[in-house]
Structure 1
Amino acid sequence: MSKQRRNRILSAVLSAALVLSLSTTALAAETGEVHLTIIGTSDTHGNVWGYSYEDMKESTGDGLARVATYVNEVRAENPNTILVDAGDTIQGTIMTDDLYAKDTADHPVPAALNYMQYDAWVLGNHEFNFGVDNLNAIVDQAEMPVLAANVKNADGSYLTGAGYTIVERGGVKVAIIGVTTPNIPRWDGTKQGVADLTFEAMADAVSDCIDEIGSNADVIMVSAHAGLGAEYSTDGADAAQTILDQCPEVDVLQLGHTHTTYINNDGAIPVGETKNNAGEVIRYDLTLNSSKEITAATVETVSMKGVEPDQGLRNVPAIQNAQTKTVSFIQDNVLGHAAADFQPVNEINGLPEGRLQDTAVIDLIGTVQLENSGADVTAVALFKDTSDLKQGDLNYGNLFDIYKFPNVLYTVKVTGAEMKAYMEWAAACWNQWQPGDMNISFNPDKPGYLHDHFIGLNYEVNLSKPAGQRIENVTFQGKPLSDTQELTLCVNDYRFTGLKNEGIISGEKLWESSASVRDMLLVYLGQHDPLEPTVDNNWKITGVDLQKNNPQRAAYIEQINSGKLAVPYNKSINLNEANNVVVNGHLFSAASAVSSGLGDTTFFRLRDLAAAFQGTEAAFNVDWNGSVVLTRGGTYTGSTLPDRTEGSAITYATPTVLVDGKPVEISALYIEGNYYVSADTINTLLGTQATEQNGVLTLTVDLASDAGNGNAG
């Protein structure tokens, strides 16, 4: 637990390499060293079985049943294994939200954690979705310590009874401190019991636990249901990085909450996070010497794809009963019928039309919310880009697909000015359109669940303008909405709390629904069968020219829809930029020319291709030493060349290129002192399979052996 342990880890890298090359068992017997393995899960969101209830079929690479198989294998290899969950565990499926949130007896999630013999379970923010009494009833079924060091009752005691636990493996005592994002009151502040709790800065709580632990642990692990960076705080209260900065005694850090794969082996301590839904785990491997000092520490993610589910877990009565109950709940209840699909077909694969235009899905939810609340205006987000009601029978899985959270509705009085500010906040989910952009793209800092659409108003969104200045021509009941006009707004409980905390609205809650939005949709379906998709087109995007008749745009869309070009989700493709080279789905620019005498073949400047191919197995360097010298696998050392001069002279040439010292004669164009080559010539020089169509060169090739190293995040 020494503050200098990080230096000792780094100084022991060479000896650790030797350690890992020997038999762990033999080495431990001879040197007294201990190898610890820590497996972490996070954001499993109720996925116990490994099943998609929306699609009514087994999943293929996720679920705690698969994690259990992997954990059993690791424990068989190394008995000194510790298992920790970092929260958001009891919410997220029809099983957990619609059946066991209402009746917590024999809950399948703690049953799974107990079966898998978790050493600690840390609370996440979604543990509070159903209120504190509900949470306590579920926590009481857990046989492992449940941790939340920064969540306190009114009397200062830990909500769960513990902020940390100490487990022993191989004679090594490991303290596990659990903390969660202190932003929970932002989202669930109105839920039963949450307002009575205190949520402290994570680093402060960790520091207090470290002081309390004292010399009683050899290793300190922090499991934080939070990302590395700040989410809302300006003082780092919700940032796990602050824990690293303020608590140098920490040896291992597990992250959660952001649903992002992240590993960092470059610092003094290993840091890691997994994606959601139990599709992967985080694995830490520590080596300690006979003095119980860490001499080596690594972290990696392990995918659950290809891992067979643990049938023992599935046979646990509480889990088996829950699965049977949930499947029957969905299969045995046809709620109604959709007369047609509710979402339009995407023009560009991966770019959801549901976020680019008004759709029947949004209007359905908005209609239900207005009818139940009696409000003037309501807001709806498409929580998942692919959410749809398909033509045919509808069951509860379909409702869950279009509204995945167990929200209730609130109403609040707002002024016209507040309403417009809210609309501007939502409109920041798009990137600003630039002249030449062939598609609209989405702001990566504002995910889809923040992208609200508004029903009850007519309005336009001018995406040629920066965020904060986009909402135009807002009308209510046919008349312009004035800043002083008063409206009744209906939003879900999550959004109400967020808007209040952001200072966008100032009013207090007027009304709260007794039913969830999904339950309201359930009733509506029963009253409208078959359900017709209707769209009132009360809003539209303006200020953009996507050049839909441009053949270059059509060529790009063909590449995207065939999977050859990455979806321009967070960055638009700009037709004014000469993006005419596609390498592994990513766009690059190369000067090019077409020679009518050579069958209208497009030729690309060789040096530009050298720059584009870097980091792949097709990488090469090109130089001049009396002739063109091409070195395959080399790093391109040339500088960026200027654009080709319009109308510059083109000369046909047949130069000899030295490829790794061997002469190869090629056909090329010679323009302004540079050679331009065709796709066929590139294939001859590099042994690749590049293709050219409509002036775009496409190459799919493996990454270079050292190109995949680094941190994901």
Structure 2
Amino acid sequence: MKKMKIYYTSDVHGYLYPTDYLSDDVQAMGLMQAIDAFDKDDNTLVIDGGDIFQGSPFINYYQNQKRSDNGIAKVMNAGGYDVITLGNHDFNYGFSFLKENLAQLNAKVTAVNVLDEAGKQLFPAQIKTLANGLKIGLIGAVTDYVNIWEKPENISDIQIMPVFPAMKQELERLKSQVDFVIGIYHGGFESDLETGERLSETGENVGYELLESLDFDLLLTGHQHATIEGRYVHGTYTLQPPNMARKYFDITVAFDQDLKPKITSELKTPGTTQSAELKAELDGLQAEVNTYLDRPIVHLDQAVAAQSHLDLAQTSNAILALTAHVQRQATGADISIVSMNNNTLFLPNDVKVRDILRNYPFDNTLFHVKLTGAQLRQNIEKTAEYFALENQQLVINPKWLIPKTEHYNYDFYYGLTYTIDVSKPVGSRVTKVSYQGKTLLDDQVLTVALNNYRAVGGGEYNTYKQAEVIQDTGLTIQDLMITYLEKTGQLAVDEPLDFNINY
């Protein structure tokens, strides 16, 4: 009997140390801690599912400076990574800089739907031969929604093709050459794995289609930050770890005499210790980031208290008002659209840089666009889907929590007066929209300030794809918030918002 072991991480997002940077607490998380438990031999593969070069305050700090000496390669090389695929966020700082980061990795990269301008694969499938003679095929792909979300200049010299046909073609080519085929898909599931019920109509995630229609032996997934324990679905074993290296998978594949595989897996939690040698190499980088994060910004006479997401969605707060204000101030827009995020929003009296990044964790840039009244109403209808009624009580729609928590897709429309009636059917919940005291007409055009993710239709706000772009300012919203607080020494802003959630 032959065996192989696989260690799998995904969506690490640059979290190397045992901290989320929101506090000084040491937590059981981070890639340095995960790899400390890896027990690798010549029959072991270590694999990552993408989104490694963006996300944490640590990695964003160095990526924004275009510094590839950011510690990622050192940790992955120390962990013995053999193969990785790319995530959608790995393109956020431009493809040429991504290549600079990748060049330092010992691991091979497979992303078979990423092509050059001439249509040639840049990151082909891989075959790894283990010490026991097993030949393992590895086929990676990244969600093709990169084409929707990413700045055009960041992917102007490459093509990102649809996932399913690219992986299908490579699987058909590779299957006869190897004993076992692994799909590494930076994407998740569009359908419920238990029932097959369709959860999303977009093409962002096609994991269920891959399971249903192709015959991978093992499909490793990511992107949704969901915790999906290993299981067989349509004959393929699949799983997904959460983000930030809070968990990793230890997978065992045992082959019988006919080389028929039996797969088992265990979802493991990293400890809080790491290699002393590796830590010593990276502590200078970590200290530099912490110095930046601990820089004082402003003292507030009154702290901003935390609220549940459901409460906040019905009230907004001073942090969201500040976000709306700096966006409108920088663009001169008529209205400003801001979103919640998955973190709990609050500010202490003494505000540091890390407090702003907790409340606005995305390094989004600011867009200025034109929208009609009809388009704005459609967008508010999309926001209204966040709510549901359960025993006549207002709750968060489960579809916004499973398979991925998406509080960040709930928007506030500063500058408008609007009413949402949750008792009405989805699609007809917006009962009132007005601007400056007058009903907003369908053909009335307003200028809108919002982040780049929403401006390109992120979160299935498809109306924005038809909006006329006045300007991509290139300004990061985090920096705008920090600068405003440093200059004014206050949080209070006069930013109009008048909305009601009825049910």
Decide: shared fold, TM above 0.5: yes
Provide the residue aligned with 2:398 in structure 1: 444
Is 1:299 aligned to 2:257, yes or no? no
Structure-1 residue corresponding to 2:34: 67
Give distance in 2, aligned partners of 1:156 and 1:259.
31
Separation (CA, whole Å) in 1 of partners of 2:172 and 2:421: 55
Matched, 1:272 2:239: yes
Q: 1:413 and 2:370 equivalent?
A: yes
- Offset, 1:356: 2.0
Question: Post-superposition shift, 1:228?
Answer: 2.9
Q: Aligned AA for 2:367?
A: Y
Aligned to 1:144: 107
| Other structure's SS at 1:270 match | strand
How far, CA to CA, are the matches of 2:327 and 2:5 in structure 1? Answer: 49
Q: Which has the higher contact order (CA 8 A, sep 6+)?
A: 2
2:146 alignment partner in structure 1? 184
Counterpart pick for 1:107 among 64, 70, 89: 70
In the alignment, is residue 118 of structure 1 matched against residue 81 of structure 2? yes
Q: Within the alignment, does 1:162 sit opposite 2:124 as a pair?
A: yes
> Which residue of the other structure, out of 10, 15, 18, is the alignment partner of 1:47?
15
Matched to 1:359, the amino acid is: N
Q: How does 1:380-419 map to 2 (within 5 A)?
A: 380-391=338-349, 393-419=350-376
Query: Is contact 1:50-1:66 (8 Å) kept?
Result: yes
> 1:79 Cα shift?
4.6
In 2, Cα distance between equivalents of 1:503 and 1:530? 36
Match of 1:492 among 447, 451, 468: 451
- For residues 642-668 of structure 1, what are the alpha-carbon distances to aligned partners after superposition, in whole Å with 9 as ceiling and x for unaligned? xxxxxxxxxxxxxxxxxxxxxxxxxxx
SS in 2 for 1:97: helix
Aligned-residue RMSD, C-alpha: 2.4
Write the letter of the residue equivalent to 2:285: A
The SS at the match of 1:151 is strand
Give runs of aligned pairs for residues 266-665 of structure 1, distance below 5 A.
266-267=232-233, 268-289=235-256, 293-304=259-270, 306=271, 308-315=273-280, 317=281, 319-331=282-294, 333-343=295-305, 346=307, 350-391=308-349, 393-431=350-388, 433=389, 437-438=392-393, 440-446=394-400, 447-498=406-457, 503-505=462-464, 506-532=466-492, 536-542=496-502, 544=503
In structure 2, what residue type is equivalent to 1:517?
A: I
Which region of structure 1 is more displaced relative to structure 2, 84-93 or 167-176?
A: 167-176
CA distance in 2, matches of 1:68, 1:408: 34
CA contact under 8 A between 1:36 and 1:169: conserved in structure 2?
no
Judge conservation of contact 1:88–1:127 (CA < 8 Å) in 2: yes
Deviation digits for residues 2-26 of structure 1 (CA, Å, limit 9, x no counterpart): xxxxxxxxxxxxxxxxxxxxxxxxx
Structure 1 residue aligned with 2:224: 258
Shift of 1:281: 0.9
How far apart are the structure 2 equivalents of 1:456 and 1:167? Answer: 61
Residue 239 of structure 1 pairs with residue 206 of structure 2: yes
Q: Which has the larger radius of gyration?
A: 1
1:89 aligned counterpart, secondary structure: coil
Shift of residue 533, structure 1, vs aligned partner: 7.2
Counterpart CA distance in 1 for 2:316 and 2:5 is: 50
Whether the aligned pair in 2 keeps the contact of 1:119 and 1:167 (CA below 8 Å) is no
SS of the aligned residue for 1:488 comes to strand
Q: Is the 8 A contact 2:227 2:240 kept in 1?
A: yes
CA distance in structure 1 between the aligned counterparts of 2:278 and 2:257, rounded to whole angstroms: 37
Per-residue CA deviations over 1:597-629 (Å, capped at 9, x if unaligned) read xxxxxxxxxxxxxxxxxxxxxxxxxxxxxxxxx
Unaligned runs of 5+ residues in structure 2 are 192-197, 401-405
Question: Counterpart amino acid of 1:481?
Answer: L
Deviations, residues 371-403 of structure 1 (Å, cap 9, x unaligned): 011111111111124122222x21111111111
How far apart are 1:262 and its partner, in Å?
1.2
Which runs of 5 or more structure 1 residues have no equivalent in the other structure? 1-32, 545-713
Mapped to 2, the partners of 1:288 and 1:179 lie a distance apart of 26
Instruction: Tell me the amino acid that sits aligned with residue 90 of structure 2.
Output: E
User: With structure 2 as the length reference, what TM-score do the two structures score?
Assistant: 0.91
Cα distance in 1, alignment partners of residues 398 and 175 from structure 2 = 42
Residue 220 of structure 2 contacts residue 239 of structure 2 at CA under 8 Å; is this kept in 1? yes
**Distance change >3 Å, CA 227–CA 169, structure 1 → 2:** farther
Shift of 1:205: 1.7
Contact map agreement 2:17 2:31 (CA 8 A) in 1: yes
